[in-house]
Structure 1
Amino acid sequence: MPARSPRLPKPRTSWAGSLAPDEQLVRIALAVVPVEHRTEGLTWLTTAASAGTALGAPLSGHLIDAYGPGAG
């Protein structure tokens, strides 16, 4: 019988009533990744989020410079 994942706490919501994207991803990872691989799974998640932010900021800046604020 597979190990059961611990019950996830009720999510906190922001003033707008939605979860922050990082918190949503962590909740999904905790539900999907097996307990014995959680550290590795969360490390990959953090690395991907950091890389996406590092690449997305300069790329969106170039789009805004080239095509105006509506492109960002």
Structure 2
Amino acid sequence: MLCSKIREETDELCRTLEENEDKLRTASELADVLYHAMVLLAVKDVRIEEVLQLLRHRFSQSSIEEKKSRKSNS
């Protein structure tokens, strides 16, 4: 049920781009995605700090380097 909700909310977020909806609608849909993603993190016992650490690492390298590092971690 949780994954279907995340998929639904993500689809609604994407539609804000496709249908050129305003910033408030986009922010609202992203808030829904983030909320349900945070619930999933809690279910999986993943701390938001772990996610932020991964994001900091990704933003500190080029996209080519980041993709290579994901392949080597698989």
Q: TM-score, normalised by structure 1?
A: 0.33
Structure whose CA Rg is larger: 1
More helix by share: 2
